[in-house]
Structure 1
Amino acid sequence: MAVHLVTGGSGFVGAAIVRRLGERGEGVRVFDLRRAPDLPQGVTFIQGDILDEAALGAAMQGVAYVHHTVALVPLTKADARYDRVNADGTALALACAARAKIRFFSHLSSSAIFGAPSAMPVTAATPLAPIEAYGRAKREADERVRAAQAAGLLPTACIRPRTILGPGRLGIFSILFEWIRDGASVYVIGDGNNRFQFVHVDDVAEVSIQACLQERPGCYNVGTDRFGTLREDLSWLIAQAGSRSRVRSLPAGPAIALLSCLDRLGLSPLAPWHYLTYHRPFWYESGPVAEQLGWRPRFSNRDMLLDGYRWFVDGGAAADASIHRSPTRQGVLRGLKAVSRWL
């Protein structure tokens, strides 16, 4: 039985990989700072920091495959620590994996490495042009993973998901789901008529698993093949929820300027990646991943929005969970929510 190490296995995507590997009967080991309260039975947990070379190297002994999901996400607003954890941590994981003679290394990258591309869809030829600190650190990590493959150190894959949803995802989506549940208006930057692609956490997990099991190096842009505009999909969710919420537009220029100011003052949970890109069209072409791995997305935008919303209203928020698995403090946005309920 092959053993898989999931770094960041207590996080949103990492936990999904752990669960799906367990369902397949694979051996699973988790390396993380905290033990998830819902860690499946039979999974070995190793507590450690991704920057602790000795602990990380020890965790990789006897491992065949690594799924590297550790990262500081945009909500952390980590500034200089993005480079340390997301880029340097990845480089250290690669070095430890090479010494341990890992058979395959799958790295969870990000669509933030593309920034705000002007041409759609994003393809293998789209340049990496991040526009904020998180995306720049993830680009550096992505480049180091590809460099390790090119240098013959070990075979690797870069999994580049669109915005990830599904049961268990909270973070900024806890704000969206709460406002819909409570009948508050939902605001979008611009008119909301931008086509916007999500991806289900189980689909992302399956791509990482298939890349490892097939030992198929490459860069995999992963998103659903069924999605509409942001306004269409949010309006559909509101209707399914039976909410009196409405989707309302904010003028892009003033909204971005205000959110940027609130961000700098520490009064808003939204980070630059959110307010600089969510009003723009963004989607991947789906064909290449299907051709390379034989994979097809199981979930549409609407499937995953509804799954996530129902999980939220059923009281799914977990204590002592990672940032994407925990509700987000709303700051001054809570005042906007209170006003919007009466507009």
Structure 2
Amino acid sequence: MKILITGGAGFLGLHLAKYFSEHFVGNKDFCSLLDIAEFDKKEYPKNCHFIKADIRNSTLMYQYIKSMDYVIHAAAALPLWKEKDIFDINVGGTKNILEASFKNKVKRVIYVSSTAVYGVPKKHPIYENDRRVGVGSYGQSKIEAENLCFSYIKKGLNVTIIRPKTFLGTHRLGVFEILFDWIHDGKKIPVVGSGNNRYQLLDVDDLVEAIYLFVVRSGHPQGVQRQQGHPKGDLIYNGAFNIGAEKFTTVKKDLEKVFIYASSERSESRSHNKNSSRQARTISKVFPTPAFFVKKALWLFEKLKLSPLYQWVYDTADKDSFVSVKRLTETLN
């Protein structure tokens, strides 16, 4: 079995490489990682093959996908990039991946989309067949890329579209590193609005496991056997699937649990290292802010390129935001 992971130098790509390496022990060179960015190779398993290439190059994509059984397409432009680059990569690049996979008879493409395709919905939970309204260039590009996936499914290519909630995990924390540093230091944590809105997140390990299951249960003898007797066979894995934590509470309650955990960790650290200079004296607290004014300020900061947050993130920050994972759990058991 040979697998190509696009966006391999990214946070998700690293976790995918590690998980697949652990579950395909002894299978040499099974995993190829493709990215335009540089790889920090020391972080990756030894049996990975590294490819530096741009998914916008259709000729190269055909060449690299030619010998692959599965393609996990996780490469994407970031929301704050230039609009042209976002559409060229997220739409044009995805088309190249799908076309190359179709021509090379790849068993399955797993496309990592986003719940940003739902925009800012008024009802929850959100289901896979709910209306898609992308906010900004990023959300719109993800919808167009999904539409390409649906069109290739009609042509006969097996495509799984994954819509994950914001996912967290070890190694690269991004903006969450700032949040955790503040919590470690016992600072007040500002939230948009009251913090009483229900907000679903996702552990990157759960996302990786779901992707793994889509691979091993489709187009593989073990997977075919498990689905024996199902009238649609591998087709049940086609289409869109929401992925998010099954258990979650409000922003405020989730943060308070992190505060308590951080406080207990500091207490344990103090007992082992009395001379540590970085010990917080207080436990963090949630600091509510007026959503209307904060969003206006964040919008201005985004336009001035002074903020790592884009419109969909802060527009949903004070609202309920959670998806139904019923289709996923029923399909993957």
For Structure 1 versus Structure 2, the TM-score category normalised by the shorter chain is 0.7 to 0.9
Alignment partner of 2:64 out of 51, 59, 67: 59
In structure 1, stretches of 5+ residues that fail to align are 295-343
CA deviations on 1:19-50 (whole Å, 9 max, x unpaired) are: 11111115111111222331210111111111
Q: 1:238 aligns with which of 241, 254, 259?
A: 259
CA contact (8 A) 1:28 1:44 kept: yes
2:83 is paired with a residue whose SS is coil
Query: Is the partner of 1:253 in helix, strand or coil?
Result: helix
1:102 correspondence with 2:106: yes
Please say if residues 77 and 271 of structure 1, whose CA atoms lie closer than 8 Å, have aligned partners that are also in contact.
no
Q: Which amino acid aligns with 1:183?
A: G
| Structure 1 counterpart of 2:35, from 14, 32, 36 | 32
Q: CA RMSD in A?
A: 1.4
* Structure 1 stretches of at least 4 aligned residues deviating more than 4 Å after TM superposition: none
Match of 2:46 among 33, 41, 51: 41
- Rounded Cα–Cα distance in structure 1 between residues aligned with 2:59 and 2:238: 27
Q: Aligned residue for 1:328?
A: none
Q: CA 1:78–1:185 in structure 2 vs 1: closer, same or farther (change >3 Å)?
A: farther
Q: Within the alignment, does 1:282 sit opposite 2:321 as a pair?
A: yes
**In 2, Cα distance between the equivalents of 1:103 and 1:35?**
27
Determine the C-alpha separation between the residues in 1 that align with 2:151 and 2:40.
32
Contact 1:10–1:39 (CA<8 Å) still a contact in 2?
no
Task: Tell me by how many angstroms 1:269 deviates.
Answer: 2.0
**Residues in 2 aligned to 1:277 and 1:78: alpha-carbon distance in whole angstroms:** 22
Deviation for aligned residue 1:111: 0.5
* 8 Å CA contact retained: 2:241, 2:325: no
Alignment-derived partner of residue 216 in structure 2: 213
- Determine whether 1:222 maps to 2:243: yes
Give, in whole Å, the separation in 2 of the partners of 1:78 and 1:274.
Answer: 17
1:228 counterpart SS class: coil
- Residue 213 of structure 1 deviates from its aligned partner by 2.2
Report the number of matched residues: 291
1:198 counterpart (195, 198, 201): 201
CA distance in 2, matches of 1:121, 1:192: 18
Contact kept in structure 2, 1:192 and 1:249, CA below 8 Å: yes
Q: Percent identity?
A: 30
- The correspondence for 2:86, drawn from 61, 82, 88, is 82
Query: 1:79: Cα distance to partner?
Result: 2.6
Structure-2 change in CA distance of 1:239 and 1:77 (3 Å): farther
Rounded Cα–Cα distance in structure 2 between residues aligned with 1:147 and 1:133: 21
Which deviates more, 110-119 or 265-274? 265-274
1:71 maps onto 2:92 in alignment:
no
Q: Which amino acid in 1 is paired with 2:309? A: L
Partner of 2:167: 164
1:205 to 1:122, Cα distance in 2 relative to 1, 3 A = same
Q: Distance in 1 between matches of 2:109 and 2:193?
A: 40
Distance in 2, matches of 1:77 and 1:255, equals 23
Show the counterpart of 1:177: 180
Indicate if the aligned counterparts of 1:211 and 1:217 stay in contact, CA closer than 8 A. no
User: Which amino acid in 1 is paired with 2:262?
Assistant: A
**Match in the other structure for 2:17:** 18
CA distance in 1, matches of 2:100, 2:261: 48
Query: What is the identity, as a one-letter code, of the residue corresponding to 1:244?
Result: I
SS of the residue 2:152 aligns to = helix
**Counterpart residue identity of residue 41, structure 1:** K
CA distance in 1, matches of 2:195, 2:74: 31
Q: Is the 8 A contact 2:118 2:131 kept in 1?
A: yes
TM-score (norm: length of structure 2): 0.84
> How far 1:53 moved relative to its partner?
1.8
Alpha-carbon distance between aligned partners in 1 of 2:81 and 2:61, rounded to the nearest angstrom: 25
Separation in structure 2 between the aligned mates of residue 145 and residue 267 of structure 1, nearest angstrom: 34
Tell me which residue corresponds to 1:302: none
**Unmatched 5+ residue regions in structure 2?**
219-236, 264-281
Distance 2:84 2:284 in 1: 38
Higher mean displacement: 65-74 or 29-38? 29-38
Q: Distance in 2 between matches of 1:172 and 1:72?
A: 17
SS of residue matched to 1:29? strand
1:54 Cα deviation after fit: 2.2
Give me the whole-angstrom Cα distance separating, in 2, the residues matched to 1:132 and 1:279: 18
Deviations 1:231-285 (A, max 9, x none): 1001110121015221111111111001111111122222112211121101112
| 1:106 alignment partner, SS class | strand
In the other structure, the counterpart of 1:333 is: none
Secondary structure (helix, strand or coil) at the match of 1:80 reads helix
Give the residue type in structure 2 aligned to 1:24.
H
